Amino acid sequence: MSVKELDQTYLAPAYARQDVVLTHGEGAELFDDQGGRLIDLGSGIAVNALGVGDQAWVQAVCAQAQLLQHASNYYYTQPQARLAKLLCARSGLKRVFFSNSGAEANECAIKTARKYADDRYGEGHHTIITLENSFHGRTLTTLSATGQAAMHRHFAPFTPGFVHVRANDLKAMRDALAQHACCAVMLELVQGEGGVNVLEKAYVRAVAALAAQMDVLLVVDEVQTGVGRTGTFYAYQQYGILPDIVTGAKGLGGGLPIGATLFGEKTAAVLTPGTHGSTFGGNPICCAGALSIVSRVDETLLEGVCQRHDFIVNELQNAKGVTGITGLGLMLGIGTAKPAADVVRQCLQSGLLVLSAKDKVRLLPPLNIPLELLAEGLDILKEVIAQ
Ligand SMILES: *Cc1c(COP(=O)(O)O)cnc(C)c1O
């Protein structure tokens, strides 16, 4: 049987896969099992932050695999401790809990917010306000946090204690905070899966001030926006706020599964022994990979992200069939006259990988994609969108 036949016979049919078998790659170029070459403007959904087969990352991961692949969290290990220090330095937050995915990082944030309020105010202050159209993960609790009714079908009952309000509507947020005994507000600053919608700065600042006033925690989900994706290390650094909790995953491990929940001053001491844990969380190989990525997402690289952003916007803003562009840095949503799903499929046929989010074409290229390759990819995209 072919790979496709094996997959279609033995895997749960949970994914609507694109018609390509990927085998290997280099940087922002991928290859399929027919020898075909593809330009990658998706990075495996913002995961391969510095592209495929990045040599410094490969060496860091292989060196750690030779030393110690796993130890359990009963013991201290070096990569985890060093990565936590680096993330605190880059974020201004104080402590980190490591897990294996974005959903788990958010699950940890939710548990921490609930315990923070329980420690201080006793039972009942458990409501978490999130936004309509948000995406926070696929576990039952992070799905409860997710403000998309379509994803809630089939899976009731949900974890109680989540309220969804309209984005950029300060009155709706103020009313919800007044009506419910809340422990947290949880936001994506750029809604990724929801269609690459950028939250307004004034709104976010007002929400942060309101939450601080009420001792309600501000949780920012940076699972997709983190690690340089939006042009700053974290997106909140463009908003003039300092969250109480920040979650990250996707690009952090450069391709290996890792989640991180960062805690500020108020939340740094909330998790105590026995209240939370993870077998694989903080795995030495994943942390070694993350160290290699995070240490290279520096000012120079971030400037490059902003340059590439400008280049893409310049190329696409007046292109035929483009109806609008949203997003920050290298997280972009392209409105198109034809359906986004058709654009994704036709780009693949022309040797280009792009993603979609709701009704938009979504671009999440490697942060260091060479400009020539980016230009080549955009030429294909423009041609497909114009047809
Ligand atoms: C992808 C994503 C998640 C879920 O991450 P997983 O690793 O798939 O569990 C959560 N929040 C945001 C903003 C995401 O983009």
Going from the Cα of 311 to the center of ligand 1, the distance in angstroms, rounded, reads 27
Return the sign of the alpha-carbon dihedral for residues 96, 165, 160, 184: positive
* pLDDT tens-digit map of 155-170: 999 999 999 999 999 9
Cα-Cα-Cα-Cα torsion 119, 266, 148, 346, nearest 10 degrees, comes to -150
Q: What is the mean pLDDT of the chain?
A: 98
pLDDT recorded at residue 60: 98
* pLDDT tens-digit map of 170-219: 999 999 999 999 999 999 999 999 999 999 999 999 999 999 999 999 99
Going from the Cα of 142 to the center of ligand 1, the distance in angstroms, rounded, reads 9
State the distance between the two ends of the chain, measured CA to CA, in whole angstroms.
36
Going from the Cα of 103 to the center of ligand 1, the distance in angstroms, rounded, reads 6
| pLDDT mean over 376-382 | 98
Type of residue numbered 176: A
Say if residues 110 and 99 touch (Cβ distance below 8 Å). no
| pLDDT mean over 280-305 | 98
Going from the Cα of 285 to the center of ligand 1, the distance in angstroms, rounded, reads 21
pLDDT recorded at residue 340: 98
Going by pLDDT thresholds of 50, 70 and 90, the confidence category of residue 153 is very high
Going from the Cα of 250 to the center of ligand 1, the distance in angstroms, rounded, reads 7
Residues 6+ apart with CB under 8 A from 305: 228, 229, 230, 231, 329, 330, 367
Nearest atom of ligand 1 to the alpha carbon of 224: 15
* pLDDT tens-digit map of 332-358: 999 999 999 999 999 999 999 999 999
Candidate of 45, 193, 199, 229 to mutate for ligand 1, largest count of ligand atoms within 8 Å of Cβ: 193
Residues 6+ apart with CB under 8 A from 128: 110, 113, 114, 145, 161, 162, 163, 182, 183, 184, 185, 186, 219
Say if residues 310 and 378 touch (Cβ distance below 8 Å). no
Going by pLDDT thresholds of 50, 70 and 90, the confidence category of residue 61 is very high
Going by pLDDT thresholds of 50, 70 and 90, the confidence category of residue 152 is very high
Going from the Cα of 2 to the center of ligand 1, the distance in angstroms, rounded, reads 31
Does the pTM of the predicted model rise above 0.95? yes
Do the strands 190-191 and 22-26 form a parallel or antiparallel pair, or are they unpaired?
Answer: unpaired
Say if residues 324 and 335 touch (Cβ distance below 8 Å). yes
* pLDDT tens-digit map of 89-101: 999 999 999 999 9
- Closest C-alpha residue for ligand 1 atom 10: 136
- In angstroms, rounded to a whole number, what is the distance separating the alpha carbons of residues 331 and 313? 11
* pLDDT tens-digit map of 249-272: 999 999 999 999 999 999 999 999
- Ligand 1, pocket residues at CB < 6 Å: 101-103, 106, 135-137, 188, 192-193, 221, 223-224, 249-250
Type of residue numbered 318: N
- In angstroms, rounded to a whole number, what is the distance separating the alpha carbons of residues 131 and 315? 32
Do the strands 245-248 and 190-191 form a parallel or antiparallel pair, or are they unpaired?
Answer: unpaired
- In angstroms, rounded to a whole number, what is the distance separating the alpha carbons of residues 294 and 98? 15
Q: Is 314 helix (H, G, I), strand (E, B) or coil?
A: helix
Nearest atom of ligand 1 to the alpha carbon of 103: 9
With CA atoms as reference, report the closest residue to 2 among 18, 30, 22, 21. 21
pLDDT recorded at residue 373: 98
Question: HSE on the CB side for 18, CA within 13 Å?
Answer: 20
